[in-house]
Chain A
């Protein structure tokens, strides 16, 4: 089996501060691939880097390549190996394939089932193709990972359910409003939670953003970051007539929006729907507001309940998804094994012998006047022709040149003689 290796860090092994330092932009990836492909020990290589992971997948032709890559990372990212090596995982052969397939199928994501990862991996693959560092093995492996991911998405419910608080909030908003891009969001409080929520909303194309905070300066700073407008804290009640989604996360000990205020605002806004997301503890939004018509209030516990029921459903689906991944790994492994020289020659011989025998039987059955020794002679002759015909190709395959990429020629041979029928089914 070829020496497939995957090294990387992800959200489980490294904090965000470290992941940031080791992340690669597209341009950096291209440059890195150009450098690394010069290395004689690396036959094929691909780098993928997202906010949750940086992983390098490659095919090595000699030992010691892991150290080479660690040195390369350390040098290009200006970071000492002692800082990131403890967080690094090094997976080989089947483990590496298994890991890649799981990542593509979004089983290794922070939010299992999230759909972006496949697109990110495809981009990483295109980058490697562009740099000319993805060849027979990685091409096949990446395409397999895409098809596993598609199968998991199609045949399990893994991507159906929102499994994080802010994702759940957005899902709810999408079931209340038909078009978020025409809606205005108001943030009450400019803390870290609020920021996170807004980042999610922006990635879902929400319309305008208002920020209202007790300390006006912070409101201005946050509003500027998200191209929104800052409001004074006293303006929050008047703003209820023009915003549609309110995300509240102030540190106030009492309600910052009362039922009476909303009641008046609803009349003014002609009962157009209002959606409150209250992620503050203690709560900011009077829960009685939920009783008003066309107003919906979800606090942090409500959102957690939504998430919990989603997680439960998702876990059953994960089992199924893991099975798809394992199946795909086994099939890919079988293909890899077949890429070795001996099985290929064997398959080629068997195919030729089969053809010769079949054709001989067909012809000889019409030639009943021939004696048995004559028939044997014909059989021997046809067999000899076949053996001669494939002698040169087999010699070519057997001749393992030092720097020749065997997997490439073996793959071509298998395709030329159509020896992969079993695996492709």
Chain B
């Protein structure tokens, strides 16, 4: 029963995300602030209902609903949606909604289409360290995803200005400085959360298996992504890697994260595989 209710709520959330995406596409062309506001409220409503759905699922299975690929995707979408609401509230970067709505729609579509195989209950997926690890990693990834979104917007705006032919996006996007600032703020937040997520993961591994590090593929790639962002932040501070270079790095970094999230488990195996079957 609880699973059914939860899934219905997720489907409603998906519909809201898709409507919001449609709204943002209209906004892209027509540039009416009212359309942007409506689209934003659609996402906000979607996130609220999505959260209710995930809570229902969580209560039903008495644990975090990240037991299989479908649930993990749904959780990733929820994290991105919630993080987007915060970033939008803080920076009001109107066009970022288009990116968020697109990613949310795609992620939720795959979560609804893929077979939802019930995983057998596993006591390993319990405990405060596990919860912290999962939530921090998802939140961090969401922030880094939005950094990538802002990075893409930066590159679109920069391309026109550099080519001395300010085109379609010139009026629709804010200044380069602002886009860079948003991207940077997202990276800093995401990196901080990711670091905490990795640390709690190590602690959890120590508690569960007795050792911090076990050369699991996902561990290796996660640390790889962490290094990309660490280097990026360092270079920004000391070698002035801002603007275009930084924007490209956010896209590379996020690609590694997406691969770590999906690819590693699908192709390479390891003890994280459980979550993404």
Residue B210 at the chain A interface, CB threshold 8 Å:
no
Nearest CB in chain A: distance from B148 CB, A: 19
Given the known interface contacts A175-B175, A178-B181, A273-B176, the answer about A294 and B243 at a Cβ–Cβ threshold of 8 Å is yes
Query: Does A305 belong to the interface (CB within 8 Å)?
Result: yes
Which A residues touch B241, using CB under 8 A?
A: 271
Contact of A175 among B161, B164, B181, B239 (CB under 8 A): B161
B167 nearest in chain A by CB position: A309
Quick check: is B162 within 8 A (CB to CB) of the other chain? yes
In the complex, the answer to whether B164 meets A305 with C-beta atoms within 8 Å is yes
In the assembly, what is the distance between CA of A269 and CA of B242, in Å?
12
Question: A176 contacts which of B176, B239, B242 (Cβ < 8 Å)?
Answer: B176
Contacts of B165 in A (CB 8 A): 305
Residue A172, interface by CB 8 Å:
yes
CB within 8 A of B240: which of A177, A178, A269, A298? A269
Distance to closest chain B CB from A310 (angstroms): 10
How far, in Å, is B173 (CB) from chain A's closest CB? 8
A294 touches B161 (CB 8 A): no
B166 on the interface (CB 8 Å rule)? yes
Contact of A272 among B173, B174, B239, B240 (CB under 8 A): B240
Kindly state the separation between the CA atoms of A175 and B181 in the bound complex, as whole angstroms.
13
B114-163 residues with Cβ-Cβ distance < 8 A to A are 157, 161-162
| Complex CA distance for A298 and B244, rounded to whole angstroms | 19
Q: Is the interface of B mostly helix, strand, loop or mixed?
A: loop
How far, in Å, is A313 (CB) from chain B's closest CB?
Answer: 10
Q: In the complex, which residues 227-277 of chain B have their Cβ closer than 8 Å to any Cβ of chain A?
A: 239-245
Beta-carbon nearest neighbor of B162 in chain A: A296
B178 contacts partner chain A, Cβ-Cβ < 8 Å: yes
Residues of chain B contacted by A178 (CB below 8 angstroms): 174-175, 177-178, 181
Assess whether A160 is interfacial by the CB under 8 Å rule.
yes
Q: Which B residues lie at the A interface, using CB under 8 A?
A: 157, 161-162, 164-166, 170-171, 173-178, 181, 239-245
Leading 6 A-B pairs by shortest Cβ distance = A270-B240, A271-B240, A178-B177, A178-B178, A302-B164, A178-B175
Given A175-B157, A175-B173, A176-B161, 14 new contacts (CB under 8 A): A174-B175, A176-B177, A177-B176, A266-B240, A270-B242, A271-B240, A271-B243, A273-B176, A290-B162, A293-B245, A294-B243, A294-B244, A296-B161, A305-B165
